[in-house]
Amino acid sequence: MSILFDSEKKIFKLDTSDSSYVFQIFEENYLVHLYYGAKIPDNNLTANYYRGWFASFCPSNAKVKADCFSPDVTPMEYSCEGAGDFRVSALAIRNSDGNNVTDVRYVSHKIYKGKPALEGLPSLHLNSEDEAETLEVLTEDRTTGALVTLIYTVFENYPVITRSVKVENGSDARMDIERVYSCCVEYERTDFNMMHLYGKWLKERTLQVRHLAHGIQSVVSKRGSSSHNHNPFVALADEKATEDYGEVYGFNLVYSGNFSAEIEVDAFNSTRLIMGINPESFGWILEPGEVFQSPEVVMVYSGEGVGGMSRAFHDIYRNNLLRGKWAKEKRPLLINSWEGCYFDFDDEKMVSFARKAKEMGIEMLVMDDGWFGKRNDDTSSLGDWFVNEDKLKGGLGSLIKRVNDIGLKFGIWFEPEMISPESKLYKEHPDWCVHVNDRENSIARQQYVIDMSRKDVRDNIFEQMYAILSDNPIDYLKWDFNRNISEAGSALLDSEHQKEFFHRFVLGTYELMDRITSAFPDLLMENCSGGGGRFDPGMLYYSPQIWCSDNTDPIERLTIQFGTSLCYPGMCMGAHVSANNRAGIDTRANVALWGTFGYELDPNKVSDEDKETVKKQIEKYHKYYDVIHFGDLYRIISPFENHYRSAWSYVSKDKNEMLFTSVVMRRPEISSYFVRFKGLDKDKYYKDEETGEVYSGALLMNAGLNFTNKDCSDGASFLKYFKAI
Ligand code: DGJ
């Protein structure tokens, strides 16, 4: 049993594999948070609400008899706006009287095996009902009739709790949700470092670590997507925690639009974290009887440092987020045409790519941007999803047949949420682009965004995509999204509902993805947004891999992949060997091996010598596929901390295999280089595949190995593979 309700103490205790989360029904039915941290056996925590004396500036409730209760000071399970809590609030609903005072109190609860799916939204799923239990706590604002259900799912075998919130209008008057965060978490401490991932196009997910300070610190997106700039991930790490030791709490929002994580440290030295849809660009009208469901937050607790947090995210995402056949089945090794030829191709060039790729052992050709409408550069044709037969003579079917006959599978590129002003679709439906009346629309990469909040627009795009995908044997789809959303508005929403646009857009995108993945369950989908501009768990629910970055420089990729690995598994990170020559082809492959692995270059330009090298790389890819895709990641030297080298390893779940990778970013000042490995079985003996030497796990983890004599010139790298004997 992972969820316990002590009816005497009125305490809920949620136990995961390694953590406990405790809250209580307090006087006057307030829900008060008591504890979140390492697993504890007892639930005798009722005194934890007490946070010392406060002055008259912290409002209370006259009916409460307990000492020093104030929503402003007491750790609240789900903080509300305007009823005595002046800290960041998770919920604010403007009622028909025009004020937004919100105050929800406990009404009832239910505990059951399993986990509910969230209507219209991606979320973690279970493979069997026994994996998790769910607690739904119904609360109510008695003044307004808002019914708010706090939903917690507790995983038995992972240190994971998911949370979301459902708001129902139980009154007969309209309500306006101004903010509805998916979780609120309270700590009786401030000795945390906050970790988050910022970035930009070509430089996604750079790790930022800062000590919490009094006041509010936040990470947000209001770009219409989760964005290159900030990932919907934040962690609170004990200030003494490291990669391998100490407590770390990770939070990741399963959402691909505007998000917000706010952390407030107050004068009573407590910390509150809320995470959910960004209220700055959000509002939702709830008519009587209507329901609003928030996205889900995945909360991970690690007692084994940042590395432990990452491995828990990787495990739960591999098992309970990725869906369909490609979550587990071996994916075909691909070559993508983009960096090899950009828009400059025809059917003959694609066939020549396929022929050369086949010679090297590649299994699938992906034809990227440029096959449709009149698209020869980025100035036109998004929205015109029909084949450009001037380019692909004989049509798509004939090209795919030729590629298949060579022995390769075939993949194709779409950018369904966009429209070019220079397109047939735009000429026919100028109001289908996202816009607001009487205001010039900003243009980015020569394109507008198409209005995914509209069903008629989605139907049109679905039908166009369906025609291409059902008429042709297509194995893979790259779904791109190459700009952010400005002048956000829809021609179909009235002025009062325009504030719902951003969320409706995300729901529309999810609905279209759902239709495509349901219609073509065997299609392997790879998400992309100018590289990794939408690398979030929402997208991973629909596509088990996401193109990590348009930056394929193997040295730059190190920080990008290290940052991404904080919460996303390697098997989801799109990573290719390109013609970028900042480092040799071996290093390019060694870095790409961390992720999905593939090629992105003109195979006709690969020298005979490199062709032999590629064949060997592909052998390694097959050999190491399982340990990389399903093993545990151990980060050993982080490029965020070391300017000279990066190193990481994958260890199989049974601890019988380890693949270690080391890359020199810049020739080190000191050449001495010892590596102490992690995550092995100290009692097993491992054979070094290269030298035949045998070492105990204990030696490898404690004494380590001496790699001082390895090449340490700029861009050099090596792999080491060990197998238990
Ligand atoms: C951006 C993507 O990240 C690239 O890989 C490529 O697909 C281009 N878009 C095509 O326009």
For residue range 318-329, list pLDDT tens digits in order. 999 999 999 999
Q: How far is the CA of 416 from the centre of ligand 1 (A)?
A: 13
Given the CA of residue 378, which atom of ligand 1 is nearest to it?
Answer: 11
In angstroms, the CA 264 to CA 645 distance is 36
CATH number of the domain within which 72 lies: 2.70.98.60
Q: Is there a single domain that holds both residue 377 and residue 504?
A: yes
Q: Is there a single domain that holds both residue 624 and residue 508?
A: no
Q: What single DSSP character describes residue 364? A: E
- Residue identified by tokens 């098997």 is 571
Ligand 1 probe mutation, 342, 380, 482, most atoms within 8 A of CB:
482
Supply angle C-alpha 321, 231, 516, rounded to 5.
45
338 lines ligand 1 (CB under 6 A): yes
Q: Which of 197, 203, 227 is nearest to 482 (CA)?
A: 227
Q: Is there a single domain that holds both residue 297 and residue 349?
A: no
3-state helix, strand, coil in the chain (%, to 5): 25, 35, 45
What local confidence, expressed as pLDDT, does residue 51 receive? 84
Which tokens sit at 456? 């008629």
For 422-443, the pLDDT digits (tens) are 999 999 999 999 999 999 999 9
Ligand 1 probe mutation, 369, 445, 529, most atoms within 8 A of CB:
369
What angle do the packed helices 585-592 and 554-564 form, to 10 degrees? 10
479 lines ligand 1 (CB under 6 A): no
Buried b (16+ CB within 10 A) or exposed e, 487-510: ebbbbebeeeeebbbbbbbbbbbb
Q: Is there a single domain that holds both residue 130 and residue 261?
A: yes
Q: How far is the CA of 443 from the centre of ligand 1 (A)?
A: 17
Beta bridge partners of 203: 200
Annotated catalytic residue, options 15, 72, 266, 550: 550
Backbone angles phi, psi at 310, to 5 degrees: -60, -45
Query: Would 265 be classed as within a structural domain?
Result: yes
Given the CA of residue 342, which atom of ligand 1 is nearest to it?
Answer: 10
Cβ neighbourhood burial of 59 (10 Å; 0-12, 13-18, 19+) = middle
Q: Is there a single domain that holds both residue 313 and residue 339?
A: no
Nearest CA to ligand 1 atom 6: 338
In angstroms, the CA 381 to CA 388 distance is 10
- Of 287, 320, 353, which closes a domain? 320
368 lines ligand 1 (CB under 6 A): yes
Q: Is there a single domain that holds both residue 662 and residue 723?
A: yes
Annotated catalytic residue, options 480, 536, 586, 602: 480
- Of 296, 320, 344, which closes a domain? 320
Q: How far is the CA of 480 from the centre of ligand 1 (A)?
A: 7
Number of domains the chain is built from: 3
Q: How far is the CA of 278 from the centre of ligand 1 (A)?
A: 27
Q: Are 448 and 440 in contact (CB under 8 A)?
A: no
340 lines ligand 1 (CB under 6 A): no
Q: Is there a single domain that holds both residue 244 and residue 348?
A: no
| Residue 665 CB contacts under 8 Å (≥ 6 apart), including other chains | 555, 558, 639, 643, 644, 645, 646, 714, 715
Q: Are 312 and 199 in contact (CB under 8 A)?
A: no
Q: What single DSSP character describes residue 194? A: E
Q: What single DSSP character describes residue 156? A: S
Count the Cβ atoms, other than its own, within 10 Å of residue 208. 14
Question: One-letter amino acid identity for 465?
Answer: M
Q: Is there a single domain that holds both residue 368 and residue 439?
A: yes
In angstroms, the CA 597 to CA 620 distance is 11
371 lines ligand 1 (CB under 6 A): no
CATH number of the domain within which 650 lies: 2.60.40.1180
480 lines ligand 1 (CB under 6 A): yes
Range list of β-strands (E), 480-542? 524-527
Nearest CA to ligand 1 atom 1: 530
Q: How far is the CA of 338 from the centre of ligand 1 (A)?
A: 7
Which tokens sit at 709? 């004599």
Q: Is there a single domain that holds both residue 13 and residue 98?
A: yes
Count the Cβ atoms, other than its own, within 10 Å of residue 581. 11
Q: How far is the CA of 531 from the centre of ligand 1 (A)?
A: 7
Given the CA of residue 600, which atom of ligand 1 is nearest to it?
Answer: 5
Ligand 1 probe mutation, 344, 367, 480, 547, most atoms within 8 A of CB:
480
In angstroms, the CA 682 to CA 695 distance is 10
DSSP-derived 3-state class of residue 348: helix
Query: Would 545 be classed as within a structural domain?
Result: no
Q: Are 503 and 284 in contact (CB under 8 A)?
A: yes
Q: How far is the CA of 162 from the centre of ligand 1 (A)?
A: 33
547 lines ligand 1 (CB under 6 A): yes
531 lines ligand 1 (CB under 6 A): yes
Given the CA of residue 478, which atom of ligand 1 is nearest to it?
Answer: 7
79 lines ligand 1 (CB under 6 A): no
Beta bridge partners of 169: 146
550 catalytic, yes or no?
A: yes
Q: How far is the CA of 575 from the centre of ligand 1 (A)?
A: 13
What angle do the packed helices 608-630 and 585-592 form, to 10 degrees? 20
Which tokens sit at 193? 């470092």
Query: Would 537 be classed as within a structural domain?
Result: no
476 lines ligand 1 (CB under 6 A): no
Q: How far is the CA of 369 from the centre of ligand 1 (A)?
A: 7
Q: Is there a single domain that holds both residue 314 and residue 283?
A: yes
Query: Would 25 be classed as within a structural domain?
Result: yes
- Of 266, 294, 320, which closes a domain? 320
Query: Would 42 be classed as within a structural domain?
Result: yes
Ligand 1 probe mutation, 414, 528, 580, most atoms within 8 A of CB:
528
Query: Would 299 be classed as within a structural domain?
Result: yes
471 catalytic, yes or no?
A: no
What local confidence, expressed as pLDDT, does residue 161 receive? 98
Which tokens sit at 23? 């809250």
pTM, rounded to two decimals: 0.98
Query: Would 557 be classed as within a structural domain?
Result: no
Q: Is there a single domain that holds both residue 596 and residue 711?
A: yes
Which tokens sit at 631? 């093993």
Averaged in consecutive runs of 10 residues, what is the pLDDT profile of the chain (725 residues)? 95 98 98 98 89 84 93 96 97 97 98 97 97 98 97 97 98 98 97 98 98 98 98 98 98 98 95 98 97 98 98 98 96 98 98 98 98 98 98 98 98 98 98 96 98 98 98 98 98 98 98 98 98 98 98 97 98 96 94 98 97 98 98 98 97 98 93 95 98 98 97 96 98
526 lines ligand 1 (CB under 6 A): no
Q: How far is the CA of 484 from the centre of ligand 1 (A)?
A: 15
Question: One-letter amino acid identity for 318?
Answer: R
Q: Are 294 and 545 in contact (CB under 8 A)?
A: no
Q: Residue 98 belongs to what domain range?
A: 3-320
Q: Is there a single domain that holds both residue 295 and residue 386?
A: no
Task: Please provide the DSSP assignment of 210-253 as one string.
Answer: EE--SEEEEEE--SSSS-SSEEEEEEEEETT--SSSB-EEEEEE
In angstroms, the CA 522 to CA 510 distance is 18
Q: Which of 364, 339, 313 is nearest to 571 (CA)?
A: 313
Given the CA of residue 338, which atom of ligand 1 is nearest to it?
Answer: 6
CATH number of the domain within which 415 lies: 3.20.20.70
Query: Would 564 be classed as within a structural domain?
Result: no
